[in-house]
């Protein structure tokens, strides 16, 4: 069983300098696997990522979200990047191994594609689909609620979320040293970003996945 993330970068085609988001995004995907077998970016802003361990899928989706939201594309609009990302996570078997991820197939790829097609209609930017209806319903409720604050992260909030996800054992004082801000500023950003709630959703995802699909 694997996970597949299928997504696209919202509002990227209106950017004059595509490299401002494309280069760091490719660097992140490259840290998780090789292209084009494990990840691929096509048509400028549509991507797929294969994840060997399904338990890591939501964490990686959150990392992608934080990266895209923290990028300062236009300096005069630094509070919000102007970009966002729309993603579906499919979890299931891989039955055909292609030389490119776009050629591979199986339930994980089908689920990711089916759920991706529903994102705009559902007016949400992150959903998951597996063979377990109960898991899907519960997790997508959590993700819909989490999207209320994730979609509104500022550049500064997303920057903190990205750092916390990369180095979860850092104290707020240590986070402040990294970001060159005071600890009380870290605390304020932490609360505005709803990091505790985000981490709880990620923990619940891992628990429910083991309970319903991986046990």
Nearest CA-CA partner of 153 in 126, 176, 129: 126
pLDDT band per the 50, 70, 90 thresholds, residue 186: very high
pLDDT at 72: 67
Q: Which residue has the tokens 């490719």?
A: 26
Instruction: Give the whole-number percent of the chain exceeding pLDDT 90.
Output: 85
Segment 90-132, tens digit of pLDDT: 999 999 999 999 999 999 999 999 999 999 999 999 999 999 9
In terms of Cα–Cα distance, which of 162, 158, 136 is closest to 59? 162
Q: Model confidence at 55, in pLDDT bands (50, 70, 90)?
A: very high
Tell me the two tokens of residue 129. Answer: 């689909």
The closest alpha carbon to 208, from 128, 137, 132, 135, belongs to 135
CA distance 209 to 124: 21
Encode 181-201: b = buried (16+ Cβ within 10 Å), e = exposed.
eeeebbeebbeebbbeebbeb
Start-end of H helices in 53-209? 57-70, 107-122, 133-150, 155-166, 172-179, 183-193, 195-209
Above pLDDT 70, what percent of the chain? 93
* pLDDT (mean) for 81-85: 84
């Amino acid at each position: 069983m694997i996970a597949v993330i299928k997504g696209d970068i919202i509002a990227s085609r209106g950017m004059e300098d595509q490299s401002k988001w494309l280069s760091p995004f490719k660097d992140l995907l490259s840290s998780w696997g090789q292209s084009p077998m494990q990840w691929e970016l096509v048509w400028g802003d549509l991507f797929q990522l294969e994840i060997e361990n399904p338990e890591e899928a939501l964490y990686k989706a959150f990392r992608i979200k934080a990266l895209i939201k923290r990028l300062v594309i236009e300096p005069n609009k630094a509070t919000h990047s102007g970009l966002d990302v729309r993603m579906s996570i499919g979890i299931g078997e891989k039955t055909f191994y292609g030389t490119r991820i776009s050629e591979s197939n199986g339930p994980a790829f089908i689920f990711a594609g089916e759920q991706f097609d529903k994102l705009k209609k559902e007016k949400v930017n992150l959903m998951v689909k597996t063979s377990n209806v109960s898991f899907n319903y519960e997790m997508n409720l959590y993700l819909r609620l989490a999207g209320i604050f994730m979609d509104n992260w500022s550049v500064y909030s997303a920057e903190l979320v990205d750092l916390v996800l990369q180095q979860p054992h850092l104290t707020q004082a240590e986070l402040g040293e990294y970001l060159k801000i005071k600890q009380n500023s870290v605390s304020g950003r932490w609360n505005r970003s709803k990091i505790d709630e985000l981490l709880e959703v990620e923990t619940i995802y891992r628990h429910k996945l083991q309970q319903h699909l991986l046990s």
